[in-house]
Amino acid sequence: MSSKTLIKQGAEAKLYSATFHGRPCIVKERFKKSYRHPSLDQSLTNQRIKSEVRALLRSRMNGVRTPTVYFVDLETSQICMEEIRDSVTVRDYIMSVQKSQSLEDSIVQLKPLGRKIGETLAVLHQNNIVHGDLTTSNMLLQSDPMNLNLVMIDFGLSHFENLAEDKGVDLYVLERAILSTHPNSDEFFSEILDSYTQSNPGSADVIAKLDEVRMRGRKRTMVG
């Protein structure tokens, strides 16, 4: 691996840009939390890495695009993966669309993206892949965003579970993230749910759970 340039310092991981034997790559390094016991910390950190690697591979095997993994180093808690070049996060894309046109026009323009995200989540959930941290920053669009070449990333909190509850929470996390990050995004999220429901025949239970979790969330904010 060549020398690394720090590109992002998150709460749990540092991201570097580097090259792996000539290919542009992203090195995601999970670092230690000083307040945790060292050996517990190492095993928790490695648990995240293993979840991420497992879900990256299983997603791609089921037809959802994810970065190619080049190297995993559990000693230094690093994953070296393909850099999705010429990409924007869905977050940045939505913001640029909303900034450049009227609300009505941007709703129309974002519709196909909402459909694509719904279909993609349906595939993940049908294969029992629960992402665990669905936000618009954890979705990339490669090349021209209009081509909807969607790449899913950041699977460190993922798990494999055939529970409607977990899938419902997955959708709830995304709903909260979208509504709080993007103003006037209700219709965008509805589009995601519509296409999720249409492409996932067993989704009735998941939607019921989503409604349940929404109710709980509402009660909590009313009390607190």
Partner 1 sequence: MKGLFEATLLKTSLILDPFQVIVAVNKAVHQQKINKMMTKTVHSEILFSLSPRKNISNAFKTFGMGDKDTSVFVAILNDHDKSTMSVIQNLIKGRQVDPYQVSELTNLQSIKEVYNLSETELSVSNTLDAVVSRIASKDIVQV
Ligand X SMILES: Nc1ncnc2c1ncn2[C@@H]1O[C@H](COP(=O)(O)OP(=O)(O)O)[C@@H](O)[C@H]1O
The residue type of 146 is M
**Residue numbers 86-105 binding ligand X by CB under 6 A:** 87, 89
Least distance to partner 1, CB of residue 184, Å = 31
Give the binding-site size for Mg ion (rule: CB under 5 A).
2
DSSP 37: -
> Least distance in Å: CB of 133 to Mg ion?
7
Residue 66 binding Mg ion, by CB under 5 A? no
Active-site entry in 41, 73, 105, 133: 133
Q: Which of 23, 34, 27 is nearest to 9 (CA)?
A: 27
Estimate the crossing angle of helix 164-181 against helix 204-223, to 10 degrees.
60
The answer to whether 138 contacts ligand X (rule: CB under 6 A) is: yes
| Distance of closest approach, residue 128 Cβ to ligand X, in angstroms | 21
Question: Positive or negative CA dihedral for 80, 88, 190, 224?
Answer: positive
Least separation, in Å, of the C-beta of 25 and ligand X?
Answer: 8
Helix 90-100 and helix 103-126, axial crossing angle in degrees, nearest 10? 160
Which residues have C-beta within 8 Å of that of residue 151, sequence separation ≥ 6?
A: 65, 66, 67, 84, 87, 139, 140, 141, 142
Compute the least distance from the CB of residue 23 to partner 1, in Å.
8
- Part of the chain binding Mg ion (CB under 5 A), chosen from 25-33, 34-42, 147-155, 184-192: 147-155
The reply to whether 145 sits near ligand X by the rule CB under 6 A is no
Taking CB under 6 A as the criterion, the residue among 1, 15, 69, 123 binding ligand X is: 15
Contact 156, 163 (CB under 8 A): no
Binding site partner of 87, from partner 1, ligand X, Mg ion, none, Cβ cut-off 5-8 A by kind: ligand X
Catalytic-residue membership of 133: yes
| Amino acid in position 1 | M
Residue with the shortest CB distance to ligand X: 10
Asked whether the beta carbons of 45 and 32 are under 8 A apart, the reply is yes
What SS3 state is found at 151?
Answer: strand
Binding partner of residue 207 among partner 1, Mg ion, ligand X, none, CB under 5 to 8 Å per kind?
Answer: none
Candidates 32-40, 82-90, 177-185, 216-224: pick the segment binding ligand X (CB under 6 A): 82-90
Residue 147 DSSP one-character state:
G
Query: What amino acid positions are annotated as catalytic residues?
Result: 133
Residues that bind ligand X (CB under 6 A): 8, 10, 12-13, 15, 26, 28, 67, 81-84, 87, 89, 137-138, 153-154
